[in-house]
Amino acid sequence: MSSLEIKNFGILGYPVVHSMSPQVYAAAFKAAGLKNYTYIPIPIQPGKLMLAVEGIKGLNFRGVNVTIPHKTTILKYLDAIDSDALGIGAVNTVVNDGGMLTGYNTDVAGFLAALKEANFLPEDCNAVILGAGGAARAVLWGLCKRRAEFITIGARNPQKADALAKDFMQYGSVEGLDWNSEQFKDAMRTADILINTTPLGMFPNVDDMPPVDLKLLPEGALVYDIVYNPAETKLLRTAKELGYPTLDGMSMLLLQGKESYRLYTGKIPDMKVMTKTLEKLLRGK
């Protein structure tokens, strides 16, 4: 793609006023000399998504990111869906190739790349996931792809956790439990990694954290919180105080953005620019 071409990008969601993606992608485009590339927030209410998808084609958007509440609903409006997005059951990136819309899920790539950067190998591990919402699906898919030994999903709603586990049982050994149950506590005692996919602890509710006893974890277990705002949540701060290694959500966010950028442009973005931009935005929140 020529830097002289006008290329439009955006993020579909409702609301999207809080999204930092426009500034982060704009900084990456500028660093790459792509002066005519624009990235805008596109607030689309539930029920109007089909019109928005047609608008992507009609206005010749090169691509869009997709966020809550449209990640699942958008699948039925696309022409093709990548295998990861199909496995997860959600799309967060759509690429427009001459009117053909293909859906991808780069959250799983970001999740696995962040683990690799932290030198954690998910193969044959015992993993515990907190939460049974949409964010948990990408994490589950990534762990199944890397052949985790056993995955336990703990949630406030055990029925929801069990239903999610059943969706993935064909791909690995997965169970869903009430995170207050003794069986869940036993799972924590053998966990190699604990991953929070809930919004508990996210800005502005920074004093919240999932109601689990981190002291149950074995020595050396990695505590990973995919929340990125703040970078150090109460969960991670507590884990550090107990001597556990930790991983925050900024890496996953930036690395999934890196993969979306590659799908849009065919190139790798300047990750230092993207990181500095995100850090600046978080400091100024």
Dist CA 207 CA 201 (whole Å): 6
- The reported pLDDT for the residue numbered 285 is 58
Q: Judge whether 188 lies within some domain.
A: yes
Q: Judge whether 110 lies within some domain.
A: no
Q: Judge whether 111 lies within some domain.
A: no
Q: Judge whether 2 lies within some domain.
A: no
Residues 46 and 95 in one domain: yes
Residues 69 and 123 in one domain: no
Residues 99 and 146 in one domain: no
Q: Judge whether 112 lies within some domain.
A: no
pLDDT in tens, the chain (285 residues): 444 578 999 999 999 988 999 999 999 999 999 999 999 999 999 999 999 999 999 998 999 999 989 999 999 999 999 999 999 999 999 999 999 999 999 999 999 999 999 999 999 999 999 999 888 999 999 999 999 999 999 999 999 999 999 999 999 999 999 999 999 999 999 999 999 999 999 989 999 999 999 999 999 999 999 999 998 999 999 999 999 999 999 999 999 999 999 999 999 999 999 999 999 998 875
Q: Judge whether 64 lies within some domain.
A: yes
Residues 136 and 187 in one domain: yes
At 6, give phi and psi (nearest 5°).
Answer: -85, 125
Cis peptide before 204 (omega within 30 of 0): yes
Q: Range of 240's domain?
A: 119-244
The closest of 182, 180, 176, 175 to 149, measured between CA atoms, is: 175
Residues 96 and 125 in one domain: no
Q: Which residues pair with 176 in a beta bridge?
A: 153
Dist CA 85 CA 92 (whole Å): 8
Cis peptide before 69 (omega within 30 of 0): yes
Residues 83 and 38 in one domain: yes
Q: Judge whether 156 lies within some domain.
A: yes
- The reported pLDDT for the residue numbered 7 is 93
Supply the CATH number for residue 190's domain.
3.40.50.720
Residues 235 and 200 in one domain: yes
Supply the CATH number for residue 37's domain.
3.40.50.10860
Dist CA 86 CA 27 (whole Å): 31
The structure's pTM equals: 0.91
Residues 197 and 170 in one domain: yes
Residues 98 and 162 in one domain: no
Dist CA 29 CA 273 (whole Å): 10
Q: Judge whether 77 lies within some domain.
A: yes
Residues 61 and 123 in one domain: no
The closest of 182, 122, 175 to 152, measured between CA atoms, is: 175
Dist CA 71 CA 134 (whole Å): 8
Residues 84 and 127 in one domain: no
pLDDT digits (tens, 9 = 90+) for 55-109: 999 998 999 999 989 999 999 999 999 999 999 999 999 999 999 999 999 999 9
Residues 59 and 172 in one domain: no
Per the structure, the count of domains in the chain is 2
DSSP secondary structure string, the chain?
--TTS-EEEEEEESS-TT--HHHHHHHHHHHTT-TTEEEEEEE--TT-HHHHHHHHHHTTEEEEEE-TTSTTGGGGG-SEE-HHHHHHT--SEEEEETTEEEEE--HHHHHHHHHHHTT---TT-EEEEE--SHHHHHHHHHHHHTT-SEEEEEESSHHHHHHHHHHHTTTS-EEEEETTSHHHHHHHHT-SEEEE-S-TT-TT-TT---S--GGGSPTT-EEEE---SSSS-HHHHHHHHTT--EE-THHHHHHHHHHHHHHHHSS---HHHHHHHHHHHHHT-
Token pair 């932290």 in the structure block, residue? 118
Q: Which residues are catalytically annotated?
A: 71
